[in-house]
Amino acid sequence: MLKNPSYSIHPIGHVNASHDKFSLQIHDDYRKGLTQMDQFSHIHVFWWATGQDNKQSRETLETELFYAPGTTAGVFACRSPFRPNPIAVTLTACLGVDMDQGIIRVPYMDALDQSPIIDIKPYFPVADRVKDATVAPWAREWPQWHEDAHQMEQIFARFETPPPA
């Protein structure tokens, strides 16, 4: 195996994000891949964090957690935007699919406008849910379910440093 092989990633679309409206725009060549996506309530969206695609962010392997003051974690042990490869993932509801226009309506994305989408996968409980999962102590107060994620605002409000954009 090569020590440092390189790989090609070809964006399949981009995120449309405004203050209160979000959607995923899929390029023409990939729209057939949306067939039957409307059968799923939730999807995982893998996107390229272009705002973090720089030498410093790629070389940062530990970071202080804004939501757990005094706690430093490795980037593989948190959802930090710092990554050797700035690949981000968001689980979101799939509100609708327009195959002709290549648009997937979603309620929210934590991506910047025009962030490249590199893949989409449907949420499957058998593959994406674990009965007895454990988390780090700094995340134990977090909600157990995606639908309750809005409660995170109350948790984050206790800290002086706002979450990263």
Express each pLDDT in 50-103 by its tens digit. 989 999 999 999 999 988 889 999 999 998 889 999 999 999 999 999 999 999
101 and 152, same structural domain? no
Measured at the CA of 111, the angle between CA 10 and CA 51, to 5 degrees, comes to: 75
> Which residues, including other chains, have CB under 8 Å from residue 13's CB and lie 6 or more apart?
24, 25, 26, 27, 30, 102, 116, 117
Amino acid at 138: W
Determine, yes or no, domain membership for 15.
Answer: yes
95 and 33, same structural domain? yes
161 and 95, same structural domain? no
Determine, yes or no, domain membership for 130.
Answer: no
Give the Cα separation of 93 and 150 in Å (integer).
14
Determine, yes or no, domain membership for 64.
Answer: yes
27 and 13, same structural domain? yes
100 and 42, same structural domain? yes
pLDDT of amino acid 165 = 44
Q: Assess whether pLDDT exceeds 80 at residue 138.
A: yes
**Mean pLDDT across the chain, nearest whole number?**
89
* pTM attached to this predicted model: 0.86
Q: 46, 87 in Cβ contact below 8 A?
A: yes
With residue 25 as reference, give the H or E element that holds it.
strand 22-26
Determine, yes or no, domain membership for 104.
Answer: yes
Amino acid at 24: L
72-78 long-range contacts, Cβ below 8 Å, gap at least 24? 73/136, 77/136
Look up the CATH number of the domain holding residue 19.
2.40.30.70
The number of folded domains in the chain is 2
Expressed as residue numbers, the domain containing 103 is: 8-49+86-124
Q: Please choose, from the candidates 68, 93, 87, the residue with its C-alpha nearest in 3D space to the C-alpha of residue 146.
A: 93
